[in-house]
C-alpha cells in the first residue's frame, strides 16, 4: 500500500541507483544519515531566506529518503533497527524543515506562516504516529492520499515556486485527511478482528 509517488520514484530512480550503490559497500544506515544532513541543510537555507534553494535541496533529501530502503532491499540488509532509524530521522528532518519555515515566517512578522508551519508539522507527525500504532496492532498503516513522499514533493514545489503559504496549507490539509483515512482504516480492521484480551476497544 505504499504511496503511488514513492512506488513510481522507487522504480524509476531508487532501484537502479541502489543496485549501483550496492557494489560500493555503502550501508543503508549511512544513506539515512546523509539524507538527514541534506534535510538539515534545506531547513537552514529556508530559515536564512534562500527559500527556493531550500526547495531544491529538500527534493534531493527526499530522493535519499527512498535510496536507503531500496539499498537495504537490494543488499538483503533490511533490519528492524534500520527501519527505526529511518523513521526517527524522518521525524527529525520534518521538524527541522517546518521549524526553518516557522523561523523564516517569524522573522518576517508573518504569524499566519508560523501557524501553517506548525499545523503541517502536527499533521505530518500524526500521520506517522498512526502508521506506527496501526502496524503495532497488526494493521497496515501506509494507507491514505498523502504519505511523506507526496508531502515532500508538494512542499518542495511550493518553496521553489514561491507559493509557500498555499503549499503549507495544502500539505497540512492533506496530512490531516490522510490521518483520518488511516484512523478509519484501522478502526474498520480492528473491528473486524474483534476485541483482544486487555485491549482498550471502545
Give just the sign of the alpha carbon dihedral 41, 47, 53, 55: positive
Name the active-site residue from 68, 90, 142, 201: 90
Report the alpha-carbon angle 132-138-142, nearest 5.
Answer: 50
Known catalytic membership, residue 68:
no
Per-residue cell: 53: 534553494
Q: What are phi and psi of 70, to 5 degrees?
A: -65, -40
The set of catalytic residues is: 90
Amino acid at each position: 500500500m505504499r504511496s503511488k509517488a514513492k512506488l513510481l520514484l522507487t522504480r524509476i530512480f531508487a532501484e537502479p541507483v541502489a543496485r549501483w550503490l550496492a557494489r560500493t559497500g555503502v550501508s543503508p544506515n549511512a544513506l539515512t544519515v546523509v539524507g538527514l544532513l541534506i534535510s538539515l541543510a534545506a531547513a537552514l537555507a529556508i530559515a536564512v531566506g534562500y527559500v527556493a534553494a531550500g526547495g531544491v535541496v529538500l527534493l534531493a533529501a527526499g530522493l535519499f529518503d527512498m535510496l536507503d530502503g531500496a539499498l537495504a532491499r537490494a543488499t538483503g540488509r533490511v533490519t528492524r533497527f534500520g527501519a527505526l532509524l529511518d523513521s526517527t530521522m524522518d521525524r527529525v528532518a520534518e521538524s527541522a524543515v517546518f521549524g526553518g519555515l516557522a523561523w523564516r515566517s517569524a522573522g518576517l512578522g508573518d504569524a499566519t506562516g508560523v501557524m501553517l508551519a506548525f499545523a503541517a508539522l502536527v499533521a505530518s507527525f500524526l500521520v506517522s504516529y498512526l502508521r506506527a500504532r496501526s502496524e503495532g496492532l497488526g494493521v497496515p498503516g501506509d494507507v491514505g492520499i498523502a504519505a511523506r513522499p507526496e508531502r515532500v514533493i508538494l512542499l518542495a514545489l511550493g518553496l521553489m515556486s514561491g507559493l509557500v503559504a498555499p503549499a503549507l496549507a495544502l500539505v497540512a490539509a492533506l496530512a490531516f485527511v490522510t490521518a483520518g483515512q488511516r484512523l478509519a482504516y484501522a478502526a474498520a480492521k480492528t473491528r473486524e478482528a474483534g476485541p483482544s484480551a486487555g485491549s482498550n476497544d471502545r
